[in-house]
Structure formats: structure tokens, C-alpha cells
Structure 1
Amino acid sequence: MVRPSMLLVLGALAVAAVACAPASNTTAQPSAGASSAPASCTKDQLKLKTAGKLTIGTDKPAYEPWFKDDAPANGKGFESAVAYAIAKQLGFENSEVNWATVKFDSAFAPGAKQFDFDVNQVSVTPDRAKVVDFSKGYYTVKQAVVALNGSKVASATDLAALKDVKIGVQVGTTSLQAVKDVIKPTAEPNVYNEQIDAVNALKNKQVDAVVVDLPTAFYVTAAQVENSKIVGQFASNTGTPEVFGAVFEKGSPLVSCVNEAIDKLTSSGELTKIETEWLGSAAGAPELK
């Protein structure tokens, strides 16, 4: 993912960007609970995995700009900062927050969880909401196309120019869904188990372009693939925007409490401030339509 320092240099990164976070359906956003929290949202009444401690899950490595230096507990990076801001709203000091390592797809798989909530660029989808609960969205996202400078894709100015392009993308991601639903290439995309494999395929010219979320695209071009560029960005769909949400064990009473915290962070402008600090603007990533 994108290093914040690189974002400052590049003057880029979308306040609204689309996630590489895996998902199967982004056309509708499920209900995320009540906007006002019950009395049980007082800190000492919260039902937690560990009494007196708020346990937050995320994957490892924890990529930038979502987390900085692969250290979620330092409060740096967009999702780390958001997580601690939510914790503060719930009455927790930073020292009362525990971080658990949770594999990405395990976060939204059926079953009991080791965390109170998880933040890991997980897109809210109806299919996922059947087995886990989500908070309100804390980030709205877009997809991006990355190609090598001088390639046939580098000069593309619209989605139509991508129809005959060999695209690399990670399996199970909203990026893959966006390729199929929005770009609709004539050839099947090359699908990889890990994002780094898709990136390496671009580097080795095994694919013409990769599709990832916009924040990741800036990291790919700045740190992973020399002589590459962001061709442009595009929305996954024309309906409800895709969002990242905190993930909860199904039936968690904490959902409404976190929703109230997100409401407060939104209305106070703090969420926008965090977004601006760690994600910057979308300069340099034109819209592909």
C-alpha cells in the first residue's frame, strides 16, 4: 500500500478510492445497525473479548497507507488512526487497545472471532453480511489501473481502451469484480492468489495492466514497479458506493456503539481530517469512463 511520505511527494491519493479488499457483490450496502447506541455503550458495560481491553484485528503485513511500518499499534496510517479514534470515542486509552493478527479472509468468514472488531480494508457486501456484521462505512473507495510507461495501456483515456488488455488481478477481490462488471475485457483476466503476484506479473510484462484499489496503485507505482504509472481510476458501480467497514462477529452488540463513534467522528470532521492526513488527494489519477 502507499507510503504517506510518498503520497506527499506525489501529491496524490484519493479521498474516495476503491478497495482491493476482496468482495463478491458491491451493488448494495447492507444495513449496519442503528445510528444511536444503547446504554450498554458505556465502557464498563461493553461485551468484550477481554475485559477492560478493546481487541482490534488486522492482517499482517499491515500495509501503508492503512498502517505505517507494519505496526498497527503505533496509531499511524489511516486505519490505525481511525481505529484509535473509534476506541477513544468508546472510552479507551491507547494502552487499553490490543491488536490481534487476523488473516484477511478469516475476518469475514463464518464463526467466532478473536477480535471485538477488525479493520483491514474489508468492503461491505451483502454476501459477507450474511455471516458477519459491519459498521457503517468509514472509507469510500475506487479502483485504479496501473500499467508500464510506454505500453499500449499507458495512454488509455477511457474504459473502452481496456477491452482488449490483458489484466492481472488478485483472486476474490472487489478489483476482480470491477474488472468483470465494469471493464468487461474480451479476454479473461489473469487471476493471482496474492496481490504481489499480480504486481510481479506486470513487472515481468506477463500482463498489460493490473487493477487494484487507488491507494495501493500509488504504492505500486512509487515503490514496487519502476517506470509504471496510474492510467486512471474508476468506480466499481453506478449505484451505492463501495465502502470499507469494521467487521464484527455476527450478532455483536458492539456494532451500534461503533456506529455511534463513526457518526461522531464524521460530524466533528475528525474522520475527514484523518483521511486527509494519511490518504491525501486524487491528483494524478484521472477518471476512466
Structure 2
Amino acid sequence: MPRVARARLPRVRVFLSLGTAALLTVAASSCAQKTTAGTASAASGSASASCGTNAPSLYKPGQLTVATDSPAYAPWFDNNDPSDGKGFESAVAYAVAAQLGFAKDQVKWVVEPFNSSYAPGAKNFDFDINEISITADRAKAVDFSTGYYTANQGIVVLDSSKYANATSLADLKSAKIGVQVATTSYEAVGNVIKPTQQPAVFNGTDDAAHALKNKQVDAIITDLPTAFYISGAQIDGSKVLGQFDYTGKAGDQEQFGLLLKKGSALTPCVDGAIAALKSSGELQKITDQWLSQSVNAPKLS
């Protein structure tokens, strides 16, 4: 706040009684307290304005524009409809929106392909939620929130596969593995499993699942909840063989974050929203509701 110059007043000698001086001192103190309180209130209002429905940095005034890919898969979304509030990431998006002061009807969804989300440049959304792992390379071009989910990798095989009884990652060395392009699952195959064959790369998990179903690959690697969905809903006669950790190039355990444009003024806002959801236990309740089955796969190493 700029300093305001005080008007120069003529010096006047004034004689005060001790009682009058004391009263003026109390009045001055009271005035200072009110000024401090007013400043704090104004600061709070300013912070709220920068994060809420009137935030000047919103993609569109008065609404929170949220992106994800299409199709949007379970268990992250329900029935390819992100707006219904069902599925883990849909529920997280609306919980974050509520923390920021947005009603459900003020949240608008747009489609953003996974591979385009972390490309440099302008964005047509406020944040993207699409199982996007936080990586240093991606963070050069976009902002990430703090993590809202810690992800392990899942392995799906056919029950009839010669790898169906594998008990370690070393048992998959000779397997033909399918994986989605430009994902941390792709990194994990090369850096952890290190198969003797080049992995088959697909544009999406649907394509990878189709290849496994048709026995074009021996196994597919994806994040664990998606692995359970593929096995349970897409491919009869398949199973989740197991899960494994992938710490990434930086040595940190893989986490999903909300993706925002580089330098977005909303980044600290969504960080605060996620922190509040963690502190209240609401994020854990959402996780338990939609992703609880993820604990049932054995750990492979």
C-alpha cells in the first residue's frame, strides 16, 4: 500500500491534563486496533477474491473450467461423464471447486487430450485432472498442484498367459509389454522392468487393453486403479498380476497433480484447497470410496 503524505500542520502548543492525555492515548490505541483489523479483513478479502468465483485469473469469469481427456475411464470417472461427480477424479475436482467457493453448476468441463495437457502454451481451462503424474520435465512447461494421489503401477495379464503365475518383475523380462505413450508407466517399463523386447506403445489404455485381449501383447502396465478397471470391466479372463512402485527420475514416489498453465495465479489456491481436503479427511474418504480395491494386488519387485 503506498505511503500517504501527511499534511504539514502549524505547530500549536497545547496543554493537557493527565486525564485528558490518558483518554487520548486509549482512543488512539482503539483506532489503531480498528485500522489493523480493517487491514487484516481487507487482506483476507483480497486473498478470497484471488481464488474464488471473482478471481481475475479464471479462464472464464464466474466459472471454474476443468479439463480431462475423452473417453474418461472408471474408476477415475463414471460412464464417460465427468460432470456427474462420480469416480475418484470427478469427486476430487468438485471437492476442490467447493473449497474455492464454486457451486457444482459453476464447474464446466472441457476435453483436453492427455498428451496435449502438459505442452507449453496457453490453456483453455483453469486446471486439468487426468491422472497426470508430476514430473520435473513437465513442470518446465506447466504448473502442478501438490499431489492428490500417490500412484503405483499395475500389471494386467490374461489368465491363460504363460506369465499369469509370475511372482517377480524379473519374470516379465521376456514379455511383450503394452503401455500408453508419454506416460510414467512407459518410463517405469524401461527403467524398472527393462524387458528384452521393445514395449508396444499405444495412444490410450483402450488400445492397450484391446491388444492384450487379442494376445498381441503379453501384459500391459498402467496405474493400478486403471489396471483393476481393465481387468474387471474390459477383459474377461484377465487379472491384475501385481503392483510395483515407480519413484521416477527424481527419486520421488509418483503422484498425480492438478495441472495448470505455467505461472497461474490459481496454483496456490488449488494447493490450499487440496491441503484443506487432506486435513479434514475428505480426500481420504473420496479415495476410500472410489479406489479402495487398489490395496488388493500383491507387491512385486
Cα deviation digits, residues 242-268 of structure 1 (max 9, x gap): 111111111100000100000000010
Which residue pairs with 1:270 in the alignment?
282
The total of aligned residue pairs comes to 253
As a proportion of its length, which structure holds more helix?
Answer: 2
Structure 1 residues 45 and 282, CA gap change in structure 2 (3 angstroms): closer
**How far did 1:219 drift?**
1.3
For residue 292 of structure 2, the aligned residue among 274, 280, 283 is 280
Q: Find the aligned partners of 2:193 and 2:254 in 1 and give their Cα distance.
A: 17
For residue 85 of structure 1, the aligned residue among 95, 115, 135 is 95
Which residue pairs with 2:172 in the alignment?
162
SS in 1 for 2:147: strand
**How far did 1:109 drift?**
0.9
Q: TM-score, normalised by structure 2?
A: 0.80
SS in 1 for 2:92: helix
- Provide runs of 4+ in structure 1 moved above 6 Å: none
For residue 178 of structure 1, the aligned residue among 177, 188, 207 is 188
**How far did 1:153 drift?**
0.7
Q: Find the aligned partners of 2:215 and 2:179 in 1 and give their Cα distance.
A: 14
Q: Which has the higher contact order (CA 8 A, sep 6+)?
A: 1
SS in 1 for 2:297: coil
Cα deviation digits, residues 213-242 of structure 1 (max 9, x gap): 111111111121111111100011383111
Q: TM-score, normalised by structure 1?
A: 0.84
Contact 1:46 1:254 in 2 (8 A): no
SS in 2 for 1:98: strand
Contact 1:38 1:256 in 2 (8 A): no
Largest Rg, 1 or 2:
2
Q: Find the aligned partners of 1:44 and 1:206 in 2 and give their Cα distance.
A: 52
SS in 2 for 1:85: helix
Contact 2:52 2:102 in 1 (8 A): no
User: What amino acid does structure 2 have at the position aligned with 1:177?
Assistant: E
Q: Tell whether 2:60 aligns with 1:57.
A: no
For residue 214 of structure 2, the aligned residue among 198, 204, 208 is 204
Runs of 5+ unmatched residues, structure 2: 1-45
Seq. identity, %: 55
Measured on the aligned residues, the alpha-carbon RMSD in Å equals: 1.6
Which residue pairs with 1:21 in the alignment?
none
Contact 1:230 1:284 in 2 (8 A): no
Counterparts of residues 110-149 of structure 1 (less than 5 Å) = 110-149=120-159
Contact 1:182 1:237 in 2 (8 A): no
Contact 2:181 2:204 in 1 (8 A): yes
Cα deviation digits, residues 173-210 of structure 1 (max 9, x gap): 11111000000111211222332222122111122111
Cα deviation digits, residues 78-108 of structure 1 (max 9, x gap): 1111111111111111111111111222211
Contact 1:66 1:77 in 2 (8 A): yes
